[in-house]
Amino acid sequence: MCSHGYISVYNQSSTSIKDVFGNRKLGFNNYPGVNATFDHISGIVQVNGTSILAVDSDNDCIRLLSRESLKTDGYIGRCLDQGYQNGPRTDSRLCRPYAIVQGSNHFEYFFTDKGNNASQRYRFTDERVDDLITKKTCSDIVRPQDLVLDGNRKSVFVNIEGQDKLGTAVVKISLKNLQCSKLPLEFEPNGIAQVPLTNLYIVTHYGRSNSHQESMLTVINGTSLTIVNDSLCGGQTQAICNEMMRPHSITYSYHLNKLVIGARDGVWTLGLQYRPGNVKSNWQFIAIYGLACW
């Protein structure tokens, strides 16, 4: 789990939370472990069994963290030096990077560069940063946020914040020809995750509806890029959804067999149940409940 300036580990067995990197102070330094400072950690991805790439958005860089030595290092982009420049990772410059995912193999990673209206690619093999797609090649890429690679590793789905509440959408990018297609959404999307073994994706967002703030979980069909269910927060789950404050990140936990949702007030899970023989969807969404709320 990550918050504005620190990364914590949740232990399911003991239901305890332990800070491992950073602390409640915002800023920038590369001290080890909890003595390091960050400014808005907006995304993390596991690199191998011992390292993590953490997107330090407001410091304009992506940092490499060692779980063994607790060492921290500004890795992609020049920390505290905002700009737009591709090339060798040490020379590259970013502007408000937001989210990061593993690409088609363990040596390739995609990340959104929100301030530069771009989704970019980093390769460990040659340690270079290059554009995956930008606003110049896809006009819908305006302030991209979260992203997810589909299970077949053929497309990337990117949440778009848009400009001045216009252009909010999910954009699908084909990795074969880099063509993009757009699904407009009424409210700004935050997190996105794929439901295992399906072409369904869940988008977390919140917005004002009927004069009050609502948390929403929208299901979309990734193949046709259409809305399947405009909000899972209905019926029996509505009351609990109302308690969940501003959901942002979402990911699937194979260990829990649940979708894990990060919100302002803590971490929530969305239960899944497999239903054989159902053509439309083999998954049923059961219930939402708090995992570690505070």
Asked if residue 32 has pLDDT above 80, the reply is: yes
Nearest in space to 146 (alpha carbons), one of 78, 193, 198, 89: 193
Per-residue pLDDT averaged across 233-255, rounded? 70
Mean pLDDT in residue range 49-54: 89
Residue 212 pLDDT more than 70?
no
Task: Please check the confidence at residue 278 and state whether its pLDDT lies above 50.
Answer: no
Lowest-confidence segment of 29-38, 165-174, 236-245 by average pLDDT: 236-245
3-class secondary-structure state, position 57 = helix
Give the DSSP letter string of 90-117: TT-B-SSEEEEEE-SSTTEEEEEEGGGT
d(CA 34, CA 237) in angstroms, rounded, equals: 37
Are 187 and 154 a contacting pair, CB within 8 Å? no
Instruction: Provide the pLDDT for residue 121.
Output: 95
What pLDDT is stored for residue 106 in this prediction? 84
Q: Pick the residue with more confidence: 51 or 253?
A: 51
Mean pLDDT of the chain: 83
113-125 average pLDDT score: 95
Backbone angles phi, psi at 291, to 5 degrees: -100, -50
The C-alpha atoms of residue 21 and residue 41 are separated, in whole angstroms, by: 11
pLDDT (0 to 100) of residue 48:
82
> Does 22 have pLDDT greater than 80?
yes
Give the mean pLDDT of 151-167.
Answer: 87
Predicted confidence band of residue 292 (pLDDT cuts 50, 70, 90): very low
Residue 77 has a pLDDT of: 94
- Per the model's pLDDT, the better-predicted residue between 290 and 148 turns out to be 148
| Residues across the chain | 294
Residue type, 176: K
Domains detected in the chain: 1-134 (2.120.10.30)
Residues in a beta bridge with 227: 220
Cα–Cα distance, 22 to 268 (Å, whole number): 23
Average pLDDT on 42-67 reads 92
Residue 141 has pLDDT above 80, yes or no: yes
